[in-house]
Amino acid sequence: MVFQGGRTEKRPDLDYVLLCLINMHEDTSGYQLRSFVEKSTGYLYRAHLSQIYPALKRLHDSGLVTLREVSREGKPDLKLYKITKAGQEAAHEWLLRPYEFKNTRENGDKFFMRLIFMGHLDPEKTVQYIDEGIEELKSQREQHAKNNLKREMEYLTVSDPEIRNRYQMIWDQELAFVIAEYDLRIDWLRKIRNRLVSA
Amino acid sequence: MVFQGGRTEKRPDLDYVLLCLINMHEDTSGYQLRSFVEKSTGYLYRAHLSQIYPALKRLHDSGLVTLREVSREGKPDLKLYKITKAGQEAAHEWLLRPYEFKNTRENGDKFFMRLIFMGHLDPEKTVQYIDEGIEELKSQREQHAKNNLKREMEYLTVSDPEIRNRYQMIWDQELAFVIAEYDLRIDWLRKIRNRLVSA
DNA sequence: TACCTCATGTAAAGCGTTACATGATTCG
DNA sequence: CGAATCATGTAACGCTTTACATGAGGTA
């Protein structure tokens, strides 16, 4: 433990994901955490053991987790982690921190990922988080709808009409797909929102 | 131009994306390419200028593109690229290369990205590509449906029933969302497939 | 005046993937 | 007998992001 760093140090998202998972389940090993990252956020975010072990070391050095080593004959020591008070505060701070939206797929996925760890939170806070997400997704949806790919057909300087038509068709479909995916996500957020307010 | 390397050298996907875009439009600059990457594949894949410039250098060194420099007073030279025969072959080889599926979001997106550049191809080849994608997505969908997050609620060692219920609700919704997103993508591939065979 | 677009690049930091290193046990 | 799971880690490599460097012209 170097210095109690619960404040707002810059940390990779992985650190917070692990912190939240350790908070859900005491005495977890790095190896177990990998499979739970997989099972919980797996569709939206993944991590390799080679990222997890250094991340746990960072968390330990900052005093956000403690560890207990269990010797096992012929095998490397098992390291079981517990969250500290500072760790719980850091996790809480992360969940409440205003989400920094960027217009990328990865950024959108991470917005949804954070939601997975919000069960501990006051539902009102989660609803506020979701509302911000809905607004952002609506605006991104409109941007895509406006930046119509059809206009960009001008870029295609290929004369063969059959090829042009094929590109046109694929790009039209592509745009429709992007819009549909945004609509699905917006809908999904609304569903969760409704369940949170009606509970 | 170091050596004509049209064969199957290992290249980042970015190189092929740029190659395909240069193939669509002669005499393009790196700067223009960035905005067209944005407008064409933007939802699925993006690149910064700091990646594009080195990529163009790689393509030029391998003889896949040629360039023409246009002097402009007080400004850096404008570099306009053209694809070579070797470049067209490399792009074609990339499009026909069997897609290496991995169960990650990024990998799924890149599958769809490649489709955007298949307008030049024999539609039968594109249909075959799509069929492989549909099979893969169906299998991934089933894996997610099976790895039901409910079972993983065991991991959550928090006693408060209100918190447990909230997690349960969010995770159930999360799973439903993942499945719905797979279904949307599978549907979308079927739509494009139908348009390709009926044309 | 401040910001955006055009236009080319390099350098460093950050994050993710693959390979290496070690070794027991279990399942097909 | 080979593959998978458990269990910990380090090192190298690759791609992405941000910062730095330079500078003109247009627009709010």
Amino acid B107: pLDDT:
96
Strand D reaches within 7 A of the B72 CB: no
Distance from CA of B172 to the nearest CA of A (A): 10
Q: Which positions in chain A touch B102 (Cβ < 8 Å)?
A: none
Size of interface A-B (CB pairs under 8 A): 127
Q: Which amino acid is at A75?
A: K
pLDDT digits (tens, 9 = 90+) for B144-161: 888 765 667 788 888 899
Amino acid A96: pLDDT:
97
pLDDT digits (tens, 9 = 90+) for B98-152: 999 999 999 999 999 999 999 999 999 999 999 999 999 999 999 888 876 566 7
Residue A46, SS3 per DSSP: coil
Q: Which positions in chain A touch B169 (Cβ < 8 Å)?
A: 192, 195-196, 199
pLDDT digits (tens, 9 = 90+) for A23-66: 999 999 999 999 999 999 999 999 999 999 999 999 999 999 99
Whole-angstrom CA distances from B80 to A193, B22, B30, B108, B149 are 51, 10, 8, 32, 52
* pTM score: 0.93
- Residues with Cβ within 8 Å of A72's Cβ and at least 6 positions away in sequence, in order, are A78
Chain centroid offset of residue B85 CA: 23
Nearest chain A residue to B117 by CA distance is A167
- Residues with Cβ within 8 Å of A141's Cβ and at least 6 positions away in sequence, in order, are A179, A182, A183, A186
On whether the CB atoms of residues A13 and A45 are closer than 8 A, the answer is: yes
Q: Residue A53 burial by CB count (10 A; 0-12/13-18/19+): exposed, middle or buried?
A: middle
On strand D, nucleotides with any atom < 7 Å from a protein CB are 6-12, 14-19, 22-25
